[in-house]
Structure 1
Amino acid sequence: MAGRFNEKSGISERIPLGSFNGMFNFTGSWQVDAAGTKSLAMVGHFIPLYKVQIAKVNLVLHEEVKRAVPYSWDPASLASFIESYGTHIVTSATIGGRDVVYIRQHQASPLSASDIENYVNDIAYQRFQDSKSTSIAAPLKYKDKDVTVIFRRRGGDDLEQSHAKWAETVQLAPDVINMTFTPIVSLLEGVPGIKHLARAIELYLEYKPPIEDLQYFLDFQIAKGWAPEQNNLLRKEPVCQSLQFSLMGPKLYISPDQVTVGRKPVTGLRLSLEGSKQNRLSIHLEHLLFLPKVLQPHWDAHVAIGAPKWQGPEEQDSRWFEPIKWKNFSHVSTAPIEFADTSIGDLSGVHIVTGAQLGVWDFGAKNVLHLKLLFSKSSGAAQ
């Protein structure tokens, strides 16, 4: 549906614009919103009165705008450009009124496509036919089925509950009900640094950080790598503790290697099966290859930050132990890991994850897999 909205707005981009996000109350990143949504629907009435548009075919931006494009990946300058000039140029606007219902079915909803279709028809009948024979509460029959319904009007007197009476007021108080756009980067072809601006705009639209945080968000959009490097696959098999999920089942060995990345913030982790028999579980860390500018004054190589510290869950806290398959065999600790070792008077700075290690607590048949994290202090950085 986002593609159809973009097409109606005159653009061919795949990432939805803010107008689409606002209609369905999408506030997270594009991929997160899409993953949490099973289906979208809308039903409504549009009353266009007139349309205004830019008559000039070949649009040209002022030189001031072109000069504001940074030549390199400069997060502060890129964020300033987007805040000052936006991401798209408005090329036309349709004026009138619209009364639309937007339906968002969440991924956990058990309703079928036909159920949703019937639900949409129920809402449309009651919203737009001004029917008195059907209870106004009827559409709420799916309120516990993970479906969000949003009623939105533009133009007219929104105090009029009746759709028919509202429609009569549109001419007295029209509003913008649709706009078409052209991407600002399409008007900056040939300008040095345009590829950096295009990338920044794409990230801004995809992840939707608050504009006041955009500079810091972009600062962290740099190259990433994985540790440890995969150049030691032929090394000798280490001696490891193991987990067992059933009485006669095979063992899963757990690599005890401490994986550390130095002063490079960890951005993700993954588990992988290694060894000649693919029966050894190891942890890998994704990390930034370079230090973001915002961290350099607080975490560069010349800054004293003290020794990093390992932090893990409490060994005896069985409240967090979950069986992997059977309760009489191996478990995993689901306890959260937070750095809480703050000394009195030491309230400045933050602690950043720079390492990880898998471990096994030996409780006989009920061995418990757990995770430890390495925290390094970034002195003086704001939380």
Structure 2
Amino acid sequence: MLEHFNQEMCLGGKTASGHFCASFGLSGRCIKELTTIKSLAYDGWFIKRYAIELERYHGELQDHVKEAVPSSWDPEYLARFIERFGTHVVVGVSMGGKDVIYVRQDDPSYLHPTSIQKILNDTANNKFMDSAENNCLASQELCNTKENIVVIHDRRGGRRGKMYHGEWLDTLDSEPDVISMILLPLTTLLRSIRGSGFVSHAINLYLRYKPPTEDLHQFFEFQLPRQWAPVLSEIRLGSHWRHQVNTWLRFSIFGPKLYINTIPVDVGNRPVIGLRLQLEGRRSNRLAIHLQHLASLPKSFPLSDNANAYLSCDSYSCSNHKKVKWNCFSYVCTAPVESDDSLSMVTGAQLQVEKKCLLLRLRFSKVIGATLQKPPQWDQSSNIGYFSRKYGGILAFISKEGQKGRPKPGDKTIGSNTYSAARPAPVHTPKLQRFVDTTEMIRGPEDTPGYWVVSGARLSVQNGKIYLLVKYSLLSFVVQCETQASEQCFI
């Protein structure tokens, strides 16, 4: 369906356009919403009265546009370029009117494709018949929350107001409106200009993740390579390692020991954007904590040189110790670990065991000159309270291209490319996997506005399994930029 909408505007790829999002009632930043869509369909009238199209290949950019192209990856200037000149040039429009019914089925919805087709046909037939109950306003939305079905009626062109479909048709000639456009990517006109590759990459990121324009500068600051710490080469898999570990937990009298890797993981002055629990070793019997961080520190994120020491709960007076299993003598401290300073972020982590209780310790560094944009948010693993879902078929003329080729859990996107995470593969089937959830808790560019940092975490126990919950904060800066009005860039 994405490709179909893009082809109408002469656009390539599978990036959701604003037209697509608006038609099916999605927000402008819908990359995550696409993963919850089960099926899409539409039916209606498209009436073209006339079309205007420029000689698109004979255009040339004005000099002030060429001069605004930065010669290097500069987030501030790239954000300013997109704010001033946009991403596409309109080279053609079709005028007329349209009266369309759009249907969106979201998960979890168990209606069969034939039922969705019937809803579409019945709604379209009723709306386009001139009866007393069908003189409706344009852009009405009808939601069936029980079945997670959204039906949107969109009428463009003609006279506004309540009227029958036949009456509306008679007003198209006097009041036509734009019903489709032909767009030319601005990057096609920048190919011979120095620095055009950086602009092209920035525009692709903007179109894919759709961050708010006011957050573009900081969004681009965070589009750096991401990596896990410790790196794979630092994870020792030799059998001699277990003799160096004297901290362990056991979940039954005769069950296997879960050794705890107590070596601190420190990423220096680099923002941490994700955490995970990992079973290391040849037998996958050593629990460790891994951190995903940016490869370098963004320019807009100066950190205090005096980083705080590791923080954790007071294991001797803490009342949040919880048994992993009712009949075992191993505990987990479920108290949240967070800094008293709301402008601090995590830059290190460590697991410890005291009196058969697993503890989480975090290292914090303060961000200088930042403000807290919104209240922090806690994320938990989707496996907590997980239940199976049944998925039906897909309607004809409905596609889920947005989900094909999506990165698998653990894969990372750097720019426009996807790289697999450096998670060590177990040599043997992990026997202790049933006690530890190893889901990667990450926020990246697809989590609007795209520059979340980890500011706390805590361990949790649910149904005899250890989980990791992560706290994210959104820190922003007041950037002094020259306010520029939108300018014409194509002649």
State the TM-score, normalized to the length of structure 1.
0.83
Measure the CA separation in 2 of the matches of 1:198 and 1:274. 40
CA RMSD across the alignment: 3.1
Aligned residues: 359
Q: Which residue of 1 aligns with 2:308?
A: 307
Partner Cα distance (2:41, 2:184) in 1: 26
Q: Which residue of 2 aligns with 1:120?
A: 120
Give, as a single letter, the amino acid of the residue that structure 2 aligns with 1:288: L
Q: 1:153 deviation in Å?
A: 2.0
CA distance in 1, matches of 2:180, 2:189: 22
- Corresponding residue number in structure 1 for 2:276: 270
* Structure 1 unaligned residues grouped into runs of 5+: 343-348
Check if 1:378 corresponds to 2:383. Answer: no
Equivalence map 1:219-230=2 (5 Å)? 219-230=221-232
Match of 1:284 among 270, 287, 290: 290
Shift of 1:159: 1.1
Secondary structure at the aligned position of 1:284 is classed as strand
**Which residue in the other structure is 2:262 paired with?**
256
Equivalents in 2 of 1:119, 1:332: separation in Å?
A: 51
Aligned residue for 2:58, secondary structure, equals: coil
CA distance in 2, matches of 1:313, 1:107: 43
Query: Could you tell me which of 339, 353, 363 is aligned with 2:346?
Result: 353
Alignment of 1:195-234 (within 5 A): 195-232=197-234, 233=236, 234=238
| CA distance in structure 1 between the partners assigned to 2:174 and 2:68 by the alignment | 41
Q: Deviations over 1:153-195 (max 9, x none)?
A: 2212231243222222222221111001111111111211111
Deviations 1:286-342 (A, max 9, x none): 1112111112xx32xxx5445244256994247xx6x87x66567877765543x24
Aligned to 1:96: 96
**Matched residue, 2:241:** 236
- Residue deviations 1:119-150, cap 9 Å, x none? 2122212222245699x9xx979431112222
Q: Is the 8 A contact 1:305 1:378 kept in 2?
A: no
Change (3 A) 1:159 1:338: farther
Alpha carbons 1:313, 1:372 under 8 Å: kept? no
Give deviations 1:240-270, integer Å, cap 9, x for gaps: 32253x7765444443332121210001123
- Out of 152, 157, 160, the residue aligned to residue 158 of structure 1 is 160
Structure 2 CA distance for aligned equivalents of residues 63 and 312 of structure 1: 60
Write the deviation string for residues 88-138 of structure 1: whole angstroms up to 9, x where unpaired: 11111011111222222112222222222122122212222245699x9xx
SS in 1 for 2:124: helix
| Bigger mean CA deviation after superposition, 247-256 or 203-212 | 247-256
Q: What amino acid is the match of 2:264?
A: Q
Return closer, same or farther for 1:143/1:355 CA change in 2, 3 Å cut-off.
same
Shift of 1:359: 4.9
What TM-score comes out, normalization by structure 2 length? 0.66
CA distance in 2, matches of 1:16, 1:120: 22
**Structure having greater relative contact order (Cα 8 Å, sep ≥ 6):** 2
Paired residue secondary structure (1:158): coil
CA contact (8 A) 2:260 2:352 kept: yes
Tell me, in whole angstroms, the C-alpha distance in 2 between the residues paired with 1:361 and 1:100: 65
User: Match for 1:230: what amino acid?
Assistant: L
Cα distance between partner residues in 1 of 2:111 and 2:197: 44
* Alpha-carbon distance, 1:239 to partner: 2.8
Question: Does 1:188 pair with 2:181?
Answer: no
SS state of the match for residue 310, structure 1? coil
Contact (CA 8 Å) 2:37, 2:106: kept in 1 or not? yes
1:15–1:205 Cα contact (<8 Å) kept? yes
